[in-house]
Structure 1
């Protein structure tokens, strides 16, 4: 595989790191800015919401800009917003800066995925996209530990400065290593709605929303769930999150590998089906930690395999609108996060923590239904031609 894919994965990694970092430094950040931990936690909520809303909008507004230049500009905004965050005098200013950072991250993730799919042949496209999502999921393993390590020793502001420095270095690295890519044919914002008017494509977006929502119905409350079920706290809980993150990294590659080997049309229903079965089985293993552990790691891996799976399916279904659909899918994933966290909270208020895996499985079963419906409609529309993506053309040869 083209080695530049791993450079793009590193670029996507810092976007994921920026999103996951705050969770590890909330107490220090809240104390320093004189706000409660719950109020400080809204920095994560506004990041996810801004990410979801900005992805499609910014792609439309920047449709005429050459894609490497746009990626570098997004990294520059990322660097400046995080440097400013390191110097933020109060909570309000940091809140606004998180919106700017999320907007830049939404472009970074979509453009890294677009470049990755263009740098490889169609037969390796799924794996290339999977590597990008391995970069993002790797931030789960490193994000919170990285934030805690630096913050405990040198204060919560240093991680933001470190991310700004890495982003600045990547701007020059991408200039030297990444080819230019012409912008795709400019698409007005209404074209995004037109893509959603195609039943098979809209249903594919729902696959991402509902499966990720099912995942976060439990994952958003995994710490109290593990505490209530197995009495895990402190270091043992941190170790469980690390194992979960390692499995998530492998899941990014798994989804891409399955898409390449089995085809996107098979994988787009197979992954939600397996995910639903595994999530529904978790309560069966609640009596044995050593049975629960491998089931949890499989759950983690499958949860992160859905992104490259659905995006490979979208690209193969509508190659001429690949960047549009990837942008919409990026928004869909973050809407799924918000929906799942809200759903889990309602379940806990209505019943208890022990119901979250079963309700999550029910939500992901709806994702499976959407996948099957998408395949049905795509046959009628003739959308499943496996042609190359029309998201822009590289103007320098791939290595």
Structure 2
């Protein structure tokens, strides 16, 4: 089972990065952000609907049926890709040392740092979202599945919104708006944690803002290194996973040392750090342009 999980994880990582890269190349000029947000929306949809569907199947049939279903769906996906995605010339094979050398480029390294801290903040809350909601509103525990589904719908909305805003108001504005809304929603959620409706609304707004950030940041990196889009996208995916792992660990330490009610504040601080790094990156870029002028 563990070996199967590792293989599935490798396949998923390769597929998602390749899908983002292909979406940016296949899209019409000015529509790349929307195209990449569609990939993100598909990914978030699988998270929202896959878990409840899996639970229904497991309750109705043998648990192994789920894996047969996944295998058949993957075969269908292979057929659809072969049928409808045009053949495109791939990027030349690049050794690992060359891939890691992109981290030496200041703008890319700083941008990946922003990704890391945003997803540390996301993971701090998302990893412990069920016990957190149970602590904040214990009377709603019987409706927890509905609340989680509502938050999941927020992720779908954010995935689509990211591409829309990136194409309309620009990448930088979308990223900063996303981080500002994340921090504000988390602070307001803590301030009004006694109100059930307010808690759900602010957490949903936070979820939308986080998923607005994801595809927009991918598009941002593609523009920073268009000649090596798949490489920078894979690096970004790695920093997302590092953020997930670090956030889960930080959240666990916070819960053990303080209270689970503190995790929104920790998440907000992480997002503020990400925004500060982004401001640093922007100011460095402007200083470089002025020096060249």
Q: TM-score range by the shorter chain?
A: over 0.9
Aligned to 1:266: 173
Deviations 1:69-115 (A, max 9, x none): xxxxxxxxxxxxxxxxxxxxxxxxx1011111111111100111111
Deviations 1:249-271 (A, max 9, x none): 11111111111111112223221
Q: Is the CA contact 1:268–1:313 (under 8 Å) kept in the aligned structure 2?
A: no
Say which of 136, 139, 148 aligns to 2:55: 148
- Separation in 2 of the partners of 1:182 and 1:282? 48
Q: How many residues align?
A: 289
Which deviates more from structure 2 when the two are superposed, residues 189-198 or residues 334-343?
Answer: 189-198
Shift of 1:136: 0.8
Contiguous gaps of at least 5 residues in structure 1: 1-93, 383-399
CA RMSD of aligned residues (A): 1.4
Flag the 1:342–1:191 CA change in 2: closer, same or farther, 3 A.
same
Deviations 1:171-217 (A, max 9, x none): 11211111001111332222222211111111111111111111111
Residues 73-92 of structure 1 mapped to structure 2, 5 A cutoff: none
Deviations 1:216-246 (A, max 9, x none): 1112111111111111565400001100000
- Separation in 1 of the partners of 2:166 and 2:44? 18
Aligned to 1:326: 233
2:148 aligned with 1:241, yes or no?
yes
Say which of 218, 230, 233 aligns to 2:137: 230
TM-score between the two structures when normalised by the length of structure 2: 0.94
Q: Which has the higher contact order (CA 8 A, sep 6+)?
A: 2
Shift of 1:329: 0.8
Aligned to 1:297: 204
Flag the 1:318–1:287 CA change in 2: closer, same or farther, 3 A.
same
TM-score between the two structures when normalised by the length of structure 1: 0.70
- Separation in 2 of the partners of 1:345 and 1:370? 25
Q: Is the CA contact 1:205–1:329 (under 8 Å) kept in the aligned structure 2?
A: yes
Shift of 1:167: 0.5
Residues 28-39 of structure 1 mapped to structure 2, 5 A cutoff: none
Residues 112-191 of structure 1 mapped to structure 2, 5 A cutoff: 112-191=19-98
- Separation in 1 of the partners of 2:139 and 2:25? 44
- Separation in 1 of the partners of 2:140 and 2:194? 18
2:116 aligned with 1:218, yes or no?
no
Say which of 272, 283, 293 aligns to 1:376: 283
Contiguous gaps of at least 5 residues in structure 2: none
Aligned to 1:201: 108
Give secondary structure in 2 for the equivalent of 1:155.
coil
Shift of 1:161: 1.2
- Separation in 2 of the partners of 1:380 and 1:128? 32
Q: Is the CA contact 1:256–1:308 (under 8 Å) kept in the aligned structure 2?
A: yes
